[in-house]
Amino acid sequence: MQIYYYLSDRSMDWYRYTLIQGKRGWLGDVLASQARDTSNPGAQQALNDEEILLMISRDPEATQRALDARREALRAEARHKVAREAANLLIQADARYRDARETTDTERAARLRAEGDERLKDLKRIDVAAWPWARLAERAREVEMIVASAASAPVFEGLRVGRGKPGAVRYHEFGRVLRGDGERRIGRRAHGFPVWELLGDEALRALDLQPADVDAGAGWPDEDEAELQNVLEAHIDGVLRERTATYEDLGWLGASDAWLTRWWPRVEKQVREGLAPSTAEQVYPLMVDGALTLASGLKLRGGELLAPTLAGWQRFLEVAPTSGLKFGELREAGSAFWARKFPRGLLGTQGAAETEADGDGDRRQDAEPRPPASTRSRPRSCKTSSTATASAPGRTARRRRSIGGCSTTSCSSAPR
């Protein structure tokens, strides 16, 4: 006698059959054995969820594709979680190294660096497939970084990238990170160009930099000195010929320190001569016979502008206490020319008193509604009269202008 089992396609019959066969073998073992206990191997070999779905599916191939897609989605979710944790670790490490560089407390600086080191050590254990930027994390010890999102590459001063097909690669380099009243921004310049545009988090996410872009940046070609010199001179002449032009209009606030150090000595005189005819109410740090003064207009021709570099800033701080200038004046000049905060207490008792008074003014200004930065522009034909109110470095400098008989408020956003 032969027994035939009929199993329906796309049903649970096969699953039930395997269970019955498992129980049959198990019962036979129990009856034939003297053992006091046994197991049910048939039950332990039950089909998993995916095998059952494939067994009852009307289209096994489509079901297999759906299952593969689901597994990949789960893997992607796991990688994103790892990347998010890695990005947070780098942000924390970067903040600690930055604070360590800025503090004058040696014990606090040592503690902050140790905390940053611990986070970088944790980053080395991150799966490269999930977050491929661990190789860049070490630069946080030296320069400030921006990590726009878990999927974004960390960017910092000195980073160079290349994008495009071989033979048509477009190169860019990143400059200084600027901090302001909102998000931080970083300068970026295209190879051979004289302008540094400022990019915020949204723009950095849109770049979608890949590891291959960073690798290509190592092939940055040398820039032709004479050609770039001509480009810079034409740029300076074109921008500063405007009657209300300022240094900020040159687009160099986000420039890297190395780039400014390289080119400023060659263009300082042209910049100073270009700013001299400007009617903008902006003063600049000028060295005259070894003494610091703040000047604008034609007075700029009587001295030499301090360099808008880190070395120039340190020189500014060195000569400021003996300049006789007020804290508010120095603070506004430092914010406008270097996008840096003038340190409190550098001028001694007189500076501390001014700092406290200016701080009260800042709090009153902060309570007022701030108009959008777009209100800076005005018709060139209008005659304007304005008085500037100094605000803290990195904050928005507010000006009251009377245009065509109407009083308006405009704001000049400080670099972020």
pLDDT tens-digit profile of 66-96?
888 888 888 889 989 999 999 999 999 999 9
Per-residue H/E/C for the chain: CCCCCCCCCCCCHHHHHHHHHHHHHHHHHHHHCCCCCCCCHHHHCCCCHHHHHHHHCCCHHHHHHHHHHHHHHHHHHHHHHHHHHHHHHHHHHHHHHHHHHHCCCHHHHHHHHHHHHHHHHHHCCCCCCCCCCHHHHHHHHCCCEECCCCCCCCEECCCEEEECCCCCCEEEEEEEEECCCCCCEEEEEECCCCCCEEECHHHHHHHCCCHHHHHHHCCCCCCCHHHHHHHHHHHHHHHHCCCCCCHHHHCCCCCCHHHHHHHHHHHHHHHHHHHCCCCCCCCEEEEECCEEEEECHHHHHHCEECCCCHHHHHHHHHHHHHCCCCHHHHHHHHHHHCCCCCCCCCCCHHHHHHHHHHHHHHHHHHHCCCCCHHHHCCCCCCCEEEEEECCCCCCCEEEEEEECCEEEEEEECCCC
pLDDT at 408 over 70: no
Report the pLDDT value the prediction gives residue 386, as an integer from 0 to 100: 37
Instruction: Give the model's pLDDT for residue 55.
Output: 63
The proportion of the chain whose per-residue pLDDT surpasses 70, expressed as a percent, equals 72
pLDDT digits (tens, 9 = 90+) for 144-193: 999 999 989 999 999 999 999 888 999 999 999 998 777 899 999 999 99
According to the model, what pLDDT value does residue 289 have?
93
pLDDT score, position 65: 85
pLDDT at 263 over 80: yes
Distance of CA 194 to the CA centre of its chain: 21
Q: pLDDT tier at 391 (50, 70, 90 boundaries)? A: very low
- Intra-chain end-to-end CA distance of the chain, in Å: 89
Q: Residue 61 is encoded by which pair of tokens?
A: 């191939």
> What pLDDT was estimated at residue 46?
56
**CA atoms lying within 13 Å on the CB side of residue 295:** 22
Burial 245-279 (b: 16+ CB within 10 A, else e): bbbbebbbbbbbbebbbebbeebeeebbebbbebe
Measured in degrees and rounded to the nearest 5, phi and psi for residue 146 equal: -125, 125
User: pLDDT of 312-360, one tens digit each?
Assistant: 999 999 999 999 999 999 999 999 999 999 998 888 755 445 544 554 5
User: Is the Cβ–Cβ distance between 176 and 187 less than 8 Å?
Assistant: yes
- Alpha-carbon separation of residue 23 from 14, 40, 104, 121, 237 (angstroms): 14, 7, 77, 54, 92
Predicted pLDDT at 166 = 85
